[in-house]
Structure 1
Amino acid sequence: MLRVGVVGTGAMGQNHVRIYHEMEGVELAGIADVDEQRVNSLAKQYNTAGFTDYKELFAQDLDAVSIVVPTKLHRQVVFEALDAGLDVLVEKPIADTIENANAMIAKAQEVNRNLMVGHIERFNPAVMRLKEIIESGILGKIVSISTRRVGPYNPRIRDVGVILDIGVHDIDIVSHLYDRNVNQVHAVAGADIHPFEDHASVHLRLDHDLTGLVEVNWLTPHKVRKLTVVGLEGVAYLDYIDQTVEIHDEGWVRYAKVEKAEPLKNELSHFIHCLINGQSAHPCGEEGRHALEVCLGAIRSYTEEKLVQIEY
């Protein structure tokens, strides 16, 4: 029985708490949050221990922890979790700076513990199915991937812009589907309702002839979460929300069989499965760092109005 904890019980953290509580082979050993009323209420609801100091949680003989706190706190909390001998799942983006991401990765390697980054869309059943379709060769060589992730602004997001908050999902997915790193990024963006950018078009280059285009905004009154893959033998249309994949070629329109499921449940199940079986959990720290590098490169691109090279 793996003993796990959760640090941070806001909107996303509460889902981590719920899913761990429901998992077989997992004991939700405790949760921590600075909001005493909230953490006590959740601890009572899920029959676990609640703490306002995460250091007290780390002293509870845990095996692993989900860290779901503001990004600027990731390095501090992850370091202390790793020092406590815990395997760590930290929510995206991995860190607020490349320096902090590098330090977290080095620390995890030093203590020989997993550092998994919560890029949840990799565990969307439609994305998982599309990855299989691409690898099967049905679409032929993939030459272009474009995404559209738009919707209304959430007032709780105050410390970052739309690229780091939601664009990071699709930037990671483009790399994941191509199975390649981004080497160039060019972005055009603006800030009209937010201190940081609230709309952006991000153009990615992978190798010499593979492209990705990520459109994000907080201005559209309804949510859209879609992705298109263009191959030499066909085109695939994915809907993240409906968890559907359509394949169009010269002769047919086909609908892929997708077993719908909650992406976060898939993600946490993968994390736990890897710990039980002594495997490395993915996306790992290096993959999370690359997504962060591309996001920061996109921000630099639109602010300096230039093409940015991504070094890795």
Structure 2
Amino acid sequence: MHNVINKTQAVRIAIMGAGLIGERHARLAEAHPDVELAAIIDPDPKKSTLAAELNCEHFNSLTDIAPNICDAVVIATPNSDHLKSGLQCLEMGLPCLIEKPIADTVENAEKLAVAFENQNIPLLIGHHRRYHHFSTRAKDIIEKNKLGRPILASIIWAVRKPDSYFKQGVWRTKSDGGPLLINFIHEADLLLYIFGKVINVQATTSNRQRKQSVEDTAAIILTFETGVIATVVLSDTALTPWSFEGACGENPNIAETGISSWRIGCTEGAFDFPNLNIWTDSENGIGDWSRKLKSQTQQVSQVDPLYDQLSHFVELIRGTAKKPICSGRDGLEALRLVEWIKRSADTSHFSNADVTSPLDIKKRLA
């Protein structure tokens, strides 16, 4: 059990891993009125400059920090480190906000989720898109059948990451550094949050453009328990205006386009997401393909989801929030979906050179 912090007392938070996302967490923590940025933990000696700028301590590792220097930790290290660092924090009784994905494998994710549950110490997973008001609005539209029964979703996430992105961390060219685990994991969490349980997956991947050991492009078909079918195409090598971050401008490293990357169709209407441009029958009826449609954009207030996520983390630490918005179990299910997709892609890859007749194709697909 962790020590519950008084509501009037600033929560001392250490940031573990000061890369792209870790530095954002550190700057938000330094600026948050309910948080004291206690330390930056990163083996890179250059991160001491960032710590000095933000007026906090710098340590090479978690084991180097002095006792009682912090009340909680944000873990923003590479995926393969999440289990080790998470369990270290747990041993010290420190609540954790772990950046997505929760871990590098489903097995490690299960270990983390169960361990924190058994110790009754708060664990929050960094699927920050849930804090956007348009995300909760989309879930409400689907759950309450406000546009009739949901039928389909079509999603594109396609950007061209600069070469410098990969030079900053060689791990990004390895098995846990591709767009499935780094980027689609966010789409996976939102898909599960909005549409529910997935019962079938078909997928294929390619690494033809970057020629690294990890995929750079993927195509996915998901069938949900409700009957909704979603198609997803993603790539970190294609220069396009279609990405969630581009649509809402939530990431300072990705240029804002204002163009939605999701299309969701229901029996009585459809909407773009995250922009919430809703299409319905122009005569307010059921509508069909012979009738004109009208559109109206639902307005929601804009937030900084990482800031609101940090505020929620503070509430969990203080005990004023009893349930995490994105729990360890939620993070586990998003990772499980990604691993299911990877297995599907691994078993679906074959070319014309692998078959000699239509009968052979049928055998491969059986």
Name the TM-score, length of structure 2 as normaliser. Answer: 0.78
**Which range is displaced more, 205-214 or 51-60?**
51-60
Amino acid at match of 2:264: V
Aligned to 2:152: 144
1:173 corresponding residue in structure 2: 190
Does the CA contact (< 8 Å) of 2:122 and 2:316 recur in 1? no
Counterpart in 2 of 1:116? Answer: 124
Deviation >4 Å, runs of 4+: none
2:33 maps to which of 21, 24, 27: 24
Segments of structure 1 that go 5 or more residues without pairing to the other structure are: 307-312
- Which residue identity does 2:88 align to in structure 1? E
Within the alignment, does 1:56 sit opposite 2:73 as a pair?
A: no
**Residue 260 (str. 1) matches residue 278 (str. 2):** no
State the shift of 1:120 in Å. 2.1
Kindly tell me the number of residue pairs found equivalent between the two proteins.
300
Aligned Cα RMSD in Å?
Answer: 1.8
Q: CA deviation at 1:58?
A: 6.8
Shift of 1:168: 1.2
Q: Give yes or no for contact 1:186–1:204 (8 Å, CA) kept in 2.
A: yes
Q: CA deviation at 1:65?
A: 1.1
For 1:273, the equivalent position in structure 2 comes to 315
**Cα displacement string for residues 101-144 of structure 1 (whole angstroms, at most 9, x for unaligned residues):** 11111210121112211112222343233223334542222222
Query: Radius of gyration: which is bigger?
Result: 2
| Residue of structure 2 equivalent to 1:298 | 341
Q: Which residue of 1 aligns with 2:362?
A: none
Residue deviations 1:132-164 (CA, integer Å, cap 9, x gap): 333454222222222111111342422232211
The CA distance in 2 between the partners of 1:231 and 1:57, in whole Å, is 53
Displacement after TM superposition at 1:270 (Å): 2.1
Q: SS state of the match for residue 214, structure 2?
A: coil
How far apart are the structure 2 equivalents of 1:115 and 1:220?
A: 35
The answer for the alignment partner of 1:3 in structure 2 is 12
Distance 1:266 1:92 in 2: 16
Q: Which amino acid aligns with 2:136?
A: M
Distance (Å, rounded) in 2 between the aligned partners of 1:119 and 1:208: 23
The one-letter code of the counterpart of 1:173 is L
- Residues 32-66 of structure 1: per-residue CA shift (max 9 Å, x gap): 1011122x112111111111122233733422111
**Paired position in structure 1 for 2:276:** 245
Q: Which residue of 2 aligns with 1:309?
A: none
Pairing partner for 1:220 from 228, 238, 257:
238
Amino acid at match of 1:210: V
1:91 equivalent in structure 2: 99
Residue 90 of structure 1: CA displacement?
Answer: 0.5
Separation in structure 1 between the aligned mates of residue 187 and residue 66 of structure 2, nearest angstrom: 33
1:198–1:218 contact (8 Å) kept in structure 2:
yes
Name the structure 2 match of 1:189.
205
One of 173, 194, 197 as aligned partner of 1:158: 173
* Aligned amino acid, residue 302 of structure 2: K
Give the partner amino acid of 1:91: E
TM normalised by structure 1 equals 0.90
Query: How many Å separate the matches in 2 of 1:223 and 1:32?
Result: 35
